[in-house]
Structure 1
Amino acid sequence: MTVTTRILATEVAPMGDIEGLHHVGHVVHDMDTATERYRRLGFTVSPPAYPVLPGEGPCGVANAHVYFPRDFVELVAVIDPDRTPAGARPLPLRVPDGKLPGLAAVIRATTDNIASFLRRFQGLHIAIVDTPDIDAVAARLTAAGVPHGGVHAVQRPVETAAGTVMEPARYLEISAPGLPPGRVPEGRVGFAENAPVEDPRGTDHPNGATGLVGCVLCVADREVPEVRERYGAYLGEPREGRANVTLVAASALGDLLPGERPAALPAFAAYTVAVRDITATERLLRDHDVPTARTGAGEVFVPSAAALGAAIVFRQEP
């Protein structure tokens, strides 16, 4: 059996509460290696950052970002307190004393989740959907019987013309029975609502990338109907649009991405970015000695073996 089904698009969920992908997360063993590799692929990568709790040193995970005007790719690595990534910026967390134990517990839980992802494989483990109304999403999921952890408010660093600013954001993580909170079998899936940021920096990429188009979720053939139903509850009915999650049976992954094999099942196997000029993108990859292949549809992609466990598809924007 071979099955390939598109299952996420713009304005497919009730009340128009989906606007495409917010970001995908590439979990890596070593942040220095990851930032070097992504720059070789032609992406502009922000300096890594890591949290610092009051009275303590580096903790949790380090993050670096590949920003686009509307979305981004996140690089994530567990912090080694004795070896922070090159050029990484500490982000001191200001929190009232009474709230410190709770925040420390959240950071530990997040770190444990990321470490568990790496034990499965290095690669894509996070897919977060963009929404203008996360409270409506929470209500819709609850009504549909989808377990989730509720809406949380955080701040994240964003590079702007005025320097680094802390951007308010609200997020929700979907949970699955029998797994730790915020986990589903394929990793971390959820929704995020951000306040608009004026003039984000770092969105001009040498490879011409302009935005995140979608990602590929590979599952065992026999699990396709269940996963299709599950994502239908998360995201709405199948329909093509600005951004999507493509569900593919394991037996069909080689047709979609020739030469690729799933590192585990279920797993996010790839993501797609739009580029201004695919000929120029392919030339840059060739000049940087990056191996490329063609998808079943004839698009350019970098195999997962050359991109730290996550295949990257480059698509000519319309």
Structure 2
Amino acid sequence: MPVITGLDHVILAVAALDPARDTWRRLGFTVTPRGRHIGWGTANYCIMLEADYIELLGVLDPTQFDNGLGERLARDGEGLLGIALATRSADSAAAAFDAAGAGGEPARDLARLLDLPQGPVQPSFRLAYPARRDAFGLSLFATEHLTPGLLRRPDWERHANGATGVLRLDLPNPLAEAALAAWAALDGARREGDSVVVGDFTLGAGDQPLLHIATSDLDACESALRAGHVAHARHPGEIRVPPLPGAGLALRFAG
């Protein structure tokens, strides 16, 4: 059984959390209640899909530790911040990063408060990071879920646009060249032409950052985009959406 089993989530840096949440709702997604990282000044909203998810990460309290997010937003604006890979064991993932030549830091625990109507709950995780943070071309770590039931709720995984999962992320060159070479060395990854596949997720190269999302119904997806007054272009088998505030990268819905 490979240590890295696929994608856990894609992380997008957003300048303002609530407007970003509203943008993703207009795209036809169900968005979870807000989560707050314990002891940090950051918070998030998540779009839960069948096996992975998209995290909208922003600064809630700039007087607290934000892991460099505020500086990054000021420098580069909104958009792709990093990728979390899925693992059953963060400790094994740390060893896998080391074996891939990136070094492995000891796994660490993280928790956040998720504000539900009935009161906050505390999803918990164990995370593994490579010692060389630039080894994979972008921010990358592995996540072991300690409380998966707190995030996996059927009503959060139903979306008006029919979205079911993240298929692929395209990175622009030269970023893609460095990332692909390093990813291919990970336990659980395989090279396929100019892409690397991990589980059901593909990392590839493109002209611009592009997030590919599977949908079970392109007609429903287009209806949701029209209802949200979102500009889009439909082509055979796909719908494309240009970068929007609160997303920072282009989206492709594939049917």
TM-score, with structure 1 as normaliser: 0.67
Gaps spanning 5+ residues in structure 1: where? 1-14, 54-58, 83-106, 177-181, 254-261, 263-268
User: Quick check: 1:290–1:306 contact (8 Å CA) kept in 2?
Assistant: no
Aligned mates of 1:225, 1:29 — CA distance in 2 = 28
Contact 2:137 2:176 in 1 (8 A): no
Q: Post-superposition shift, 1:308?
A: 3.3
Out of 211, 215, 231, the residue aligned to residue 271 of structure 1 is 211
2:182 pairs with 230, 255, 258, which one? 230
Give 1:68 deviation, angstroms. Answer: 2.0
Could you say which residue in structure 2 is the equivalent of 1:66? 47
Work out whether 1:217 is the aligned partner of 2:185. Answer: no
Q: How far apart are 1:71 and its partner, in Å?
A: 1.8
Distance 1:227 1:126 in 2: 12
Residue 99 of structure 2: aligned partner = 143
AA paired with 1:29?
A: A
SS at match of 1:284: helix
Does 1:246 pair with 2:203? yes
For residues 281 and 80 of structure 1, the distance between their equivalents in structure 2, rounded to whole angstroms, comes to 35
Letter in 2 for 1:247: G
How far apart, in 1, do the equivalents of 2:156 and 2:226 lie?
23
Structure 1 counterpart of 2:145, one-letter code: N
Question: 2:225, 2:171 → 1: CA distance?
Answer: 25
**Distance in 2 separating the partners of 1:243 and 1:230:** 18
2:57 partner amino acid: V
CA deviation string 1:243-298 (max 9, x = no partner): 324221xxx51xxxxxxxx4xxxxxx122222221111012212322111357x85
Match status 1:116 vs 2:56:
no
Distance (Å, rounded) in 1 between the aligned partners of 2:7 and 2:219: 25
Q: Which residue of 1 aligns with 2:144?
A: 193
Give the conservation status (yes or no) of the 8 Å contact 2:215–2:253.
Answer: yes
More strand by proportion, 1 or 2? Answer: 2
User: Residues 90 and 143 of structure 2 are in contact (CA less than 8 Å); yes or no, is this contact kept in structure 1?
Assistant: yes
Structure 2 residue identity aligned to 1:288:
G
Once the two structures are superposed, residues 37-77 of structure 1 have per-residue CA deviations (whole angstroms, 9 ceiling, x without a partner) of 11111111122233465xxxxx5112111112322111111
Which of the two has greater helix per residue?
1
Q: Give the letter for the 2:17 counterpart.
A: M
CA distance in 2, matches of 1:224, 1:204: 32
2:29 equivalent in structure 1: 43
Post-superposition offset of 1:202: 1.6
Range that drifts further, 190-199 or 235-244: 235-244
* Correspondence for 1:127 among 79, 83, 86: 83
Instruction: Report the AA paired with residue 48 of structure 1.
Output: R
Structure exhibiting the larger radius of gyration computed from Cα positions: 1
1:83-140 Cα deviation digits (max 9, x unpaired): xxxxxxxxxxxxxxxxxxxxxxxx72xx142123312121111211111232222222
| Secondary structure, aligned partner of 1:202 | helix
Equivalenced residue count is 246
Does residue 172 (structure 1) correspond to residue 172 (structure 2)? The answer is no
Alignment-mate amino acid for residue 179 of structure 2: V
Distance of 1:158 and 1:21 partners within structure 2: 22
Map 1:20-59 to 2 at 5 A: 20-51=6-37, 53=39, 59=40
8 A contact 2:36–2:114 mirrored in 1 = no
Q: TM (normalized to structure 2)?
A: 0.82
| Alignment RMSD | 3.0
Q: 2:111 is matched with which residue?
A: 155
Q: Distance in 2 between matches of 1:154 and 1:282?
A: 37
Change (3 A) 1:62 1:230: same
